[in-house]
Structure 1
Amino acid sequence: MSAAHDCDVLVIGGGIVGLSTAYALTQAAPGTRVVVLEKEARTARHQTGRNSGVIHSGIYYRQGSLKARFAAEGAAELIRFCAAHEVPYERTGKLIVATDRSELPRLHALAQRGREHGIPLRELGPAQIAEYEPSVAGLAALRIDTTGICDFRAVAGALAGLAEAAGASVRCGAEVTAIDRRAGRGVAVRTADGTLSRARALVNCAGLHCDRIARLAGDDPGMRIVPFRGEYHDLVPARAELVRGLVYPVPDPAFPFLGVHLTRGVDGGVHVGPNAVAALAREGYDWRTLRPYDLAGVLGYPGSWRIARRHWRYGAGELRRSLSRSAFTATVRRLLPEVTAGDLRPARAGVRAQAVLRDGTLADDFLIQESPHTVHVLNAPSPAATASLPIGREIAGRVVRAMR
């Protein structure tokens, strides 16, 4: 390492992708000095720590996409990782359930895609659905045995520990405020406390703020983060026995969200959701949180209005379910007829960092952009947590090649 540099690689963002990248860098190039800068007081505070905890199979993702490749590889590896590092996990299996005849063609198409991906699955009728989930109603379903659940915050903690044991440093409370990319000399990053860190390379894994970090570095990301809040409920403990594993509806291929689903967590509780609505702040976990700067950024971006025109019916339905307990309950009852509004209690929400292109297209795959001394991760949607280990290796490989 040159005396002009404080470290070799700076990673911005202490979520699961940033921490996986830091660990992968220490393994790909032993001796590499890696520093993770996380603005919060601890790691995994946002997307990593606010999701349903599902280990995804990769069945939804188009052939040849990074999501399909990383999910299939990452799911098996993640289960091995959890077992090796005493992270809570469970293989629960999953049902994707058609509740209306109009959904049957899409369910069959999913089955075909799953077989193309090499995912072991079975097609079930109503009687077979009841064998797995007696309280779930459906005309037909796909059963995938390889999926499960885990504690992603614990996974992130284990990755941070492994990275630090290999020589990396994780600095919390280090919000990046300025980036100076000096031609031929690397990158200098200033944090809110005035600390200046110089490195040979920079990795942007800032999640909800990745586009802003890209612009600080002098790059045009070609997209904007538009935050969508995922609102969850939990089944009250006395009704948790209604769900044994994971139960999903057949997704609408025109929209990137999977719809309200039922998830038994590692804590034994059953999470119901998410309902997806536009958030009023990048970290807007409820309707009361409004940040004018964040909102102005969304309203002033042409892609936001193009999304609204294209998907306003879908968005109106999500908004109605957000504001009406009875409307949300009615959606849940399509899968779980016994549920009443009294069986559901509000739970902690999450915010998805959705990358939107200028033409209003919702970026569906991982979006990784390289520029001098820098790698930007500009879209890391679900299944990023499931696929965090292979994603980390992919990013680390790009950084190592760039430094060489």
Structure 2
Amino acid sequence: MQVPSSATSTLHRESAHAPPSDSSGIIDWLMTETRDERFVDNIFIEMCEKLNQAGIPVSRGTLHFRILHPQWLGARILWQRGMTEADIQTFGFGVEDSDRYRNSPVNDLHSGAKEVRQRLEPAHAASAPPYPLYDELRAEGHTDYIAWPLKHTLGKQHIITFGSDRPGGFSDDDVAALAELLPAFALVSEIRLKNRLARTLLETYVGPHASEQILAGATTRGAGVTVSAAILICDLRDFTGISDMWPRDDVIELLNGYFDAMAEPIERHGGEILKFMGDGLLAIFPLNNTSACGDLLAAIREAQTAMAALNEENLKKGHKPLGYGIGVHVGDVMYGNIGSRSRLDFTVIGPTVNVASRLESLTKELKRPVLLSRAFVEIGGCEAKLENVGSHLLRGLSEPIDVFAF
């Protein structure tokens, strides 16, 4: 994309104007005094405030980051004068196809521009590209806007912008001072962003609680704790036949819809999904939350409603409704790392998990989609709401247990 010359220029100055002396103080602060601040938005807010204290009239600033997240393509951090906390907005996949994005200085930078500069006062309106953002900034009282790529290692590029509301906008010295800060801020922001990305990836693949344990140092084989928890194991019925008969993309779409229906209620009610196992999942509701058992039942109820809606859609597409089985038990489990020397899995193991798994298998035999143990029912105080379907001897147990259907 060709960026209008009136809106952009490349900063390759020979330091004709030295930046204000306080600029070096802000760089020193970035490099030596931010090490204990975990969040880049807090650093960005303080930096913008320090710029104003140094006489550089920053009235607005934004950071635009691409992030590794299953739901979001990127995020924008916005600060405006007077804000004590940044406004953080996420952007979903597909935003780059929107008119708003295509007609924006952010797109100009992603298309190769080294700098975008646009004065916003009426005298410069005729030369400005007709970007909605510029109209919004003028309406807010801003007089100048400048944006640069924020370069991280290995070619990763994000974006930083500044706005001014001073009559006449930024001076040449102001622009030079802001440009001087970019390398230092790039280093500081990259560290925080990579820390956040590491957390996001761990949360995506092992769940929020397990990710905190791993980041806190639980990375050796055998590291773990004993946890009292309600265990939920769910499995999709007849998946082997579906996967053999259906096209690959249809199978993936089916699985994603099924996991959405099951997983979102679990997470919404405080459960943590530790793993997806082919067409099944394993989740825990720790009993340190006194409402854990009630939360688990509420999650199952919502999941059943979501599965009913999904099956209606499947019927419209000519597919058979999906069946599933859920087994629930409660007790102590070992929660931690198991595996080989070089490949670990953060999970729960123990007899409690085995009983939940056997109850899930029993759903096939009893033709009931959700089965729960008496131990869970007694702790949850929910016997009156459930149907006792008798005592059953589960594989691996020496005595039968009472089983309830939901």
Structure holding more helix per residue:
2
Superposition TM-score, scaled by structure 1 size:
0.23
Whose relative contact order is higher, 1 or 2, with alpha carbons under 8 Å and at least 6 apart?
Answer: 1
